[in-house]
Structure 1
Amino acid sequence: MLGLIGMFGGLILLIVLTMRGMNLLIAAPLTALFVAVLNGLPLFPQLAGEGAANYLTNYMDGFTGFIASWYLMFLTGAIFGKVMEDTGAADSVSRWIVGKMGMKRAALAVVLACAVLTYGGVSLFVVAFSVYPMALSLFKQANLPRRFIPAALAFGSTTFTMTSAGSPEIQNWIPIEFLGTSPYAGWEVSAIVAVFMMVFGYWWLTKMINKAKSKGEEFESRSTDPNNESRKELPNPLLSMLPLLIVLGFSYIFHDSLGTSALIIALTGGIISTCLINIKFIRNLSKALGDGAMGAVIAIANTAAVVGFGGVVKATPSFEAAVDVMTGIPGSPLIGGALAVAVIAGLTGSSSGGQAIALPLLAPHYLDMGVDPEALHRTVSISSGSLDSLPQGGYVVTTIRSIAGETHRDAYPAFGALSVVVPLLGAVLAVILFSIGL
């Protein structure tokens, strides 16, 4: 009992500290320590048996493991965004979009840009880095409150694309190994759910933005924003879109052979093509490279801090007990699977982690019961993209704080509505549709 209090109490404490603005490099290890102490984990490897779980090893394995796996993707993604910003390419594309779609649809343009890149296989973190400069320019020209930018980025990346049939994102591929399905499993239901999430989510985003504007909220410039006011000329908007297409194309071409490493090639191609196409518009390339590198370090450190917390949580006996309870939920296997994956994703702060932990336990049991593997695949995939976006989630912290420079207090209400509530409703709809035999 004390261990469960420690685990859920630590999670709640981390969420509270995150919402109050505490630095995650302090909050995450402190709350992980709280979890470890109440679960009786040894604090140091010297106090534990050989190979046994302990606070320090499990936290640092999670922390350093994430950096080792993702640093170069974060680095190239952040630099690509800064180069697009420095050359004026992001501003040029955003002005062209506003001219074609109108200022009232600036938020929709951000959502669609994220959706195209995500469905094309670009990592969620990289999409946020890449699209943010354009999103900032779009919101500035449309005079929309900038605190909604993270919500627009997340909505376009983590809802109707990330977990939909055919998506190359890992959240759609993990179930294949355990269920023997394909990336297009349950595509009919997936299409209906995706349309629902997109329409309902965009309506909700628009409503929140309009409500804020009616209260007098406007776009507020900051000293750290790129200054393009003095530019006499901007690059050609259509040519400025080519680097984004190159990133999308390279990631698609090399995805099967290189996996996530394809993003390094794709983003490097995007950086080089941006510089070559807009060479005469470059202002300060060395500063853009330096700012991008620093932004990547801050972003990945914040995310890794939360991943380390998840590493400690997963090593506790109470986590194993919670998994046993969640995977043994009676009733409809689709409901049990969706709840188990969502809750575990929330505890670990990772949608892929929720699936990877729950499916090895769920899949054999449910398949023996005769559950449709395609229905289970799509249901757990959609549900995995819900509670992983609680305030302490790695993607959440990176997007809100490190990329957009907002506070959780200002940005998370809209962010959570679109990246937690909307996917949860999508999962409920999927269960209903599969249950009636669609």
Structure 2
Amino acid sequence: MRVFAEDAQCLGEDEVLISAIGLAGALILLIWMTVRGVNILLAGPVAAAIVAWTSGLAWLPPLATEGAPDFATAYMKGFTGFFGDWFLMFLLGAIFGEVMSASGAAASVAHWVVRKIGICHAVLAVVAACAILTYGGVSVFIVGFAVYPLAVHLFREADMPRRFIPGALCFGSVTFTMTSAGSPEIQNLIPMQYLGTDAYAGWQVSLVVAVMMAGLGYFLLDRMVKRAVARGERFESRPGDDVSSADRHLPHPLLCILPLVAVLGVFMLFQYPQAIAGLAALLPRESLGKWALIVALGAGTAIAVLIGLRSRGAMPAAFSRGATGAVVAITNTCAVVGFGAVASLSPAFQAALDAVQHMPGDPLIGAAIAVTVIAGLTGSASGGQSIALPLLAPGYLAMGADPSQLHRTVAIASGALDSLPHNGYVVTTIRAICGETHRDAYPAVGLLTVVVPTIGLVLAIALFAIS
């Protein structure tokens, strides 16, 4: 019996080792395929199939023993589960961004930021324009497309190398704004349904961390650009750079800010309905949670349409592009969520998850490590949260972890390793929007969207520990 037990233990260790090799190999392949331009809807299932093969999962439900998981069911459950939970938010967010763009509101706000900051601070102007639009509820994908023409103009006037434009766009969109308290981006909303918190959870620490990330990231980006210029790098023009019409009529920037204010205001109102006593009869008694964003984006879209009445002929096409863009964006994320769902069934993943759950010390550290690693595996901040939180949240809450602290820690953690080269937004920004290569642009993107948020995560955990 003793020999049999030892053999079984060795077999288990061998299974975990083979599974770990397959998981690491699948991740490397996923990154390689996405960098090489393979569609994530193809790369995701292929990489997930390798994980399933090395983990001993059956390929199809009829081939699996009763009650055992299989590759096809696990992948599609992860894919469709995320789609069902977040499609309406993606849809309204994409439509809102397209309407802001079609009405000229997004360009007007960006131009206003540029005029106030000045051409001598071109990098800061690009980052600030992205930050304002992102925190105003515009999808990060839409922000990249909206600000890129202005970034080209600024970098040309300042004669700075254009390979840093993706870094500026990504830094302003997916770091100190995306995961901060009050942000209407879904990376800040997903923890609410698992932790019973609101979008402003841990706002005091979040404010400190956001200021630190903004300051450090801008310092590093500005330093990289200046060093490149000192080495002789200059702006290189390309055909099609001037994609915006110089004589286009743009609404007044103060009017254009109203849809952004409406998104944040309505979102806050339905998060805290009890705060407005006079409207108690018209508002629900309890917070709407993540569904408050649907109401907020609907209100913001309606105001943006009114502001863009001069461009009303472009609105049907904008709604159509928004709907199409929403499907593309969410299915790209679903593809990596499906990969993560299969990966979560592998013996290597289960062993790692067990180690994290039984890690001694602060539960915030365990949650941060788990979400960071899973977000890196899936290449998606929202995907990492959607996989990790259902597994980890009940246990950590039972251990007495503060929900608000856990919310903020998880949100910030999801925005670190998610920006590895295979991340959908990174690939879209570098290649589709800016026309750069990973070799030229990703070093800056990686430093600003991986290293800086990781430092912010460490700071957040430290601040929560002493609070």
The TM tier, using the shorter chain, reads 0.7 to 0.9
Q: How does 1:244-323 map to 2 (within 5 A)?
A: 244-255=260-271, 257-282=287-312, 284-323=314-353
State the match for 2:154 in structure 1. 142
State the match for 1:159 in structure 2. 175
Indicate which of 394, 402, 415 corresponds to 1:360: 394
- Is the 1:307–1:394 contact (alpha carbons within 8 Å) kept by the matching residues of 2? no
Indicate which of 344, 349, 356 corresponds to 1:326: 356
Distance 1:70 1:410, change over 3 A: farther
**Separation of aligned partners in 1, 2:221 and 2:350:** 37
Indicate which of 139, 147, 168 corresponds to 1:127: 139
Distance 1:307 1:236, change over 3 A: same
State the match for 2:373 in structure 1. 343
Partner deviation per Cα, 1:187-216 (whole Å, 9 max, x = no partner): 665444332222101212223344555654
Distance 1:343 1:268, change over 3 A: same
| TM-score normalised by structure 1 residue count | 0.81
Indicate which of 106, 110, 126 corresponds to 1:94: 110
**Separation of aligned partners in 1, 2:192 and 2:463:** 21
State the match for 2:416 in structure 1. 386
**Separation of aligned partners in 2, 1:141 and 1:108:** 14
Partner deviation per Cα, 1:24-65 (whole Å, 9 max, x = no partner): 111111000000000000001111134431111111112222
Indicate which of 416, 421, 446 corresponds to 1:416: 446
State the match for 1:72 in structure 2. 88
Structure 1: gaps of 5 or more residues: none
- Aligned-pair CA distance for 1:127: 3.1
Distance 1:316 1:146, change over 3 A: same
Distance 1:174 1:105, change over 3 A: same
Distance 1:300 1:38, change over 3 A: same
Determine helix, strand or coil for the equivalent of 1:284: helix
Indicate which of 55, 74, 78 corresponds to 1:58: 74
Partner deviation per Cα, 1:77-110 (whole Å, 9 max, x = no partner): 2233233323333222222221111124454345
Amino acid at match of 2:81: G
**Separation of aligned partners in 2, 1:188 and 1:68:** 32
State the match for 2:250 in structure 1. 234
**Separation of aligned partners in 2, 1:110 and 1:279:** 27
Amino acid at match of 1:240: C
Structure 2: gaps of 5 or more residues: 1-16, 273-286
RMSD (Å), alpha carbons: 3.7
State the match for 2:6 in structure 1. none
Determine helix, strand or coil for the equivalent of 1:233: coil
**Separation of aligned partners in 1, 2:317 and 2:307:** 19
Distance 1:384 1:221, change over 3 A: same
**Separation of aligned partners in 2, 1:391 and 1:139:** 22
Count how many residue pairs are aligned between Structure 1 and Structure 2.
428
Partner deviation per Cα, 1:239-279 (whole Å, 9 max, x = no partner): 22222222222332234643333333333333332232232
- Is the 1:299–1:403 contact (alpha carbons within 8 Å) kept by the matching residues of 2? no
**Separation of aligned partners in 2, 1:128 and 1:297:** 15
**Separation of aligned partners in 2, 1:287 and 1:166:** 31
Taking only the aligned residue pairs, the percentage that are identical comes to 52
Distance 1:431 1:111, change over 3 A: same
Determine helix, strand or coil for the equivalent of 1:143: helix
Distance 1:193 1:287, change over 3 A: closer
Pairing 1:10–2:40 present: no
Determine helix, strand or coil for the equivalent of 1:22: coil
Partner deviation per Cα, 1:110-159 (whole Å, 9 max, x = no partner): 54455556667x4xxx4314533542243133126666555445434543
- Is the 2:113–2:128 contact (alpha carbons within 8 Å) kept by the matching residues of 1? no
Distance 1:152 1:183, change over 3 A: same
Distance 1:304 1:406, change over 3 A: farther
Q: Which moved more, 1:392-401 or 1:44-53?
A: 392-401
**Separation of aligned partners in 1, 2:103 and 2:403:** 49
- Is the 1:89–1:235 contact (alpha carbons within 8 Å) kept by the matching residues of 2? yes
Pairing 1:208–2:224 present: yes
